[in-house]
């Protein structure tokens, strides 16, 4: 067989060229999808009510954006109870301020609100694209080889969860970007404990928390990195302690400033999240814990959308089933996809995830690369544990969405591929699974 006909993945320079092609094709795919997809297609809590005429409620993300424009101030009413309903006004304001600025600019040009919302969606997708570039930088800091970095980049480029999150009219995508930047500069700081690196960790963590409070879940990984370096670096402890004091005295008050404001002004708990009614169709609190933690239902594997109007919500109560279903299709962004596509996408993603998880665990239990294991391990398990806890604390279908834990995919891929690089068979296995899953994903979202 003439091997010259096949791509040469052993050549580091050639792999870097392939990575650039993948990254820019992914940017094209995401931008194209956002152009084709209406801004309402994935409007988690945006509050859209109808389109003839276009209306939205007074409690969603769009209302929050309009509030900032109209009153030029943060909400001064009870943010947990706007006009008698739970609202999204409890969220920190960074994303909504950016969206409000964009809407003012677009409207000042004489363009409609519809155009303004489409622009906001495109900017959100830009955050998603920037996240991919950050992922590549993370892989550089982890010193993945050419082929390993190529596979890892492909998995982050074509994971549908990073496409759908960019179409949302909320703060999830921007928070994910800031979390990834925090991880990147934590890895950089582990190598070089410069003031620049720790200042950037602080800035991105604070911005993440002021975009969405749950960004604080990255803090344990950062804290473990700090602790490990303090224990192992005897000669530079004074320098490190100075940095830690700076980090604590800036990130804690700034990062918690919004939740402190809400607590002082409205007595809102730090961990406040609005709940739905138990009579809501999404309620799954009456489903046993075992059913929610064990195997997904047939409906979760064969559907591309969460259809609790057609099926009882118990069919969508399994946490892992919802994680995969929303990773691949969100709650129904590809309504016209076939059962065959749903099965292919869901099953291939489950197989790939299991392979990566096995490799990731092997990466975590080996006795070297401690710094990398700490950052990736605490990132992954902190978010996953809190994801499961959140799903039980708020037992509604919408609580089990991949958008809350998109960062775990990057940690899982990075750690799994890092280990696989040392095992030829493992790298081949994950390569095949990655190519299959990526091809299905591109086909589904390219021709949406």
Q: Which two tokens stand for residue 72?
A: 């030029």
Higher pLDDT, 76 or 202: 202
Q: What is the rounded CA–CA span in Å between residue 268 and residue 41?
A: 31
Range 302-323 average pLDDT: 86
pLDDT of residue 305: 80
Residue 302 has what pLDDT?
84
Q: Rounded to 5 degrees, what angle do the CA atoms 220, 221, 227 make?
A: 85
Q: How confident is the model at residue 75 (pLDDT cuts 50, 70, 90)?
A: confident
Task: Decide if 317 is inside a domain.
Answer: no
Q: Which domain holds residue 137?
A: 9-271+335-446
Distance between CA atoms of 269 and 262, rounded to whole angstroms? 8
Q: Are 306 and 332 in contact (CB under 8 A)?
A: yes
**Whether pLDDT at 200 is above 70:** yes
| Average pLDDT rounded to a whole number, residues 406-419 | 97
Judge whether 260 lies within some domain. yes
pLDDT, position 3: 47
In a domain, 192, yes or no: yes
Mean pLDDT of the chain: 90
Report CA-CA distances (Å) from 151 to 35, 178, 409, 421, 432.
Answer: 27, 23, 13, 10, 10
Which residues are CB-neighbours of 113 under 8 A, at least 6 positions away? 54, 103, 107
- Among 14-28, 50-64, 284-298, 314-328, name the one with the lowest average pLDDT: 50-64
Rounded average pLDDT over 203-216: 98
Does residue 374 form part of some domain? yes
pLDDT bin (cut points 50, 70, 90) of residue 54 is low
Q: Is residue 315 part of a domain?
A: no
Q: How many domains is the chain partitioned into structurally?
A: 1
> Across residues 35-50, what is the average pLDDT?
80
What's the rounded Cα separation, in Å, for the pair 244 and 226?
8
What pLDDT is attached to residue 1? 46
Q: Return d(Cα 36, Cα 287) in angstroms, integer.
A: 38
Please, what is the angle between helix 237-255 and helix 219-232, to 10°? 170
- In a domain, residue 404? The reply is yes
* Axis crossing angle, helix 61-71 with helix 94-108, rounded to the nearest 10: 70
Cβ(386)–Cβ(311) below 8 Å:
no
Q: Inform me whether the pLDDT recorded for 6 exceeds 50.
A: no
Q: What is the pLDDT of residue 2?
A: 46
- pLDDT at residue 392 is higher than 60: yes
307 belongs to a structural domain: no
Give the pLDDT score at 49: 66
**pLDDT grade, residue 14 (50/70/90)?**
confident
Whether the full predicted model's pTM is greater than 0.85, yes or no, is yes
Please give, one letter per residue, the 3-state secondary structure of the chain.
CCHHHCCCCCCHHHHHHHHHHHHHHHHHHHHHHHHHCCCCCCCCCCCEEEECCEEECCCCHHHHHHHHHHHCCCCCCCCCCECCECCCCCCCCHHHHHHHHHHHHHHHCCCCHHHHHHHHHHHHHHHHHHHHHHHHHHHHHCCCCHHHHHHHHHHHHCCHHHHHHHHCCCCHHHHHHHHHHHHHHHHHHHHCCCHHHHHHHHHHHHHHHCCCHHHHHHHHHHHHHHHHHHHHCHHHHHHHHHHHHHHHHHHHHHHCHHHHHHHHHHCCCCCCCCCCCCCCCCECCCCCHHHHHCCCCHHHHHCCCCCCCCCCHHHHCCHHHHHHHHHHHCCCCCCCCCHHHHHHHHHHHHHHHHHHHHHHHHHHHCCCCHHHHHHHHHHHHHHHHHHHHHHHHCCEHHHCCHHHHHHHHHHHHHHHHHHHCCCHHHHHHHHHHHHHHHHHHHHHHHCC
Contact yes or no for 319/287 (Cβ under 8 A): no
State the CB neighbour count (10 A cutoff) for residue 83. 10
Domain contains 35: yes
Structure confidence at residue 52 as a pLDDT band (50, 70, 90): low
């Amino acid at each position: 067989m003439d091997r010259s006909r096949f791509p040469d993945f052993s050549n580091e320079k050639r792999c870097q060229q392939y990575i650039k092609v993948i990254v820019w094709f992914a940017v094209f795919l995401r931008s194209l999808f956002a152009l084709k997809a209406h801004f309402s297609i994935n409007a988690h809590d945006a509050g859209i009510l109808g389109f003839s005429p276009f209306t939205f409620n007074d409690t969603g993300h769009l209302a929050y954006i309009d509030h900032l424009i109209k009153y030029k101030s943060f909400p001064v009413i009870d943010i947990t109870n706007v006009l008698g309903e739970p609202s999204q006004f409890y969220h920190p304001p960074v994303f909504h301020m950016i969206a409000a600025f964009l809407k003012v600019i677009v409207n000042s040009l004489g363009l409609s609100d519809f155009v303004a919302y489409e622009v906001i969606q495109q900017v959100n997708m830009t955050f998603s694209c920037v996240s991919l570039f950050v992922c590549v930088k993370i892989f550089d800091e982890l010193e993945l080889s050419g082929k390993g970095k190529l596979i890892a980049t492909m998995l982050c480029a074509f994971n549908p969860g990073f496409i759908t999150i960019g179409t949302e009219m909320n703060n999830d995508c921007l928070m994910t970007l800031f979390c990834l930047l925090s991880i990147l500069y934590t890895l950089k700081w582990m190598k070089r404990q410069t003031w620049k690196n720790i200042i950037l960790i602080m800035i991105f963590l604070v911005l993440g928390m002021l975009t969405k409070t749950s960004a604080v879940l990255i803090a344990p990984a950062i804290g473990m990195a700090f602790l490990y370096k303090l224990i192992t670096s005897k000669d530079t402890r004074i320098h490190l302690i100075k940095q830690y004091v700076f980090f604590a005295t800036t990130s804690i008050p700034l990062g918690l400033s919004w939740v402190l404001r809400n607590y002082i002004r409205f007595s809102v708990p730090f961990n406040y999240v609005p709940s739905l009614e138990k009579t809501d169709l999404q309620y799954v609190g009456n489903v046993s814990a075992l059913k929610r933690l064990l195997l997904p239902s047939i409906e979760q594997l064969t559907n591309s959308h969460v259809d609790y109007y057609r099926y009882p919500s118990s069919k969508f109560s399994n946490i892992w089933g919802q994680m995969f279903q929303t990773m691949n299709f969100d709650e129904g962004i590809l309504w016209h996809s076939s059962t065959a596509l749903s099965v292919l996408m869901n099953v291939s993603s489950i197989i790939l995830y299991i392979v990566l998880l096995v490799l990731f665990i092997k990466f975590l239990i080996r006795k070297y690369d401690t710094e990398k294991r700490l950052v990736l391990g605490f990132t992954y398990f902190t978010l996953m544990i809190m994801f499961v806890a959140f799903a039980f604390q708020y037992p509604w279908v919408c609580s089990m969405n991949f958008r809350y834990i998109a960062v775990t995919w990057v940690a899982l891929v990075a750690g799994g591929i890092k280990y696989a690089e040392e095992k030829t068979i493992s790298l081949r296995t994950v390569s095949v699974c990655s190519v299959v899953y990526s091809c299905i994903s591109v086909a589904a979202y390219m021709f949406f």
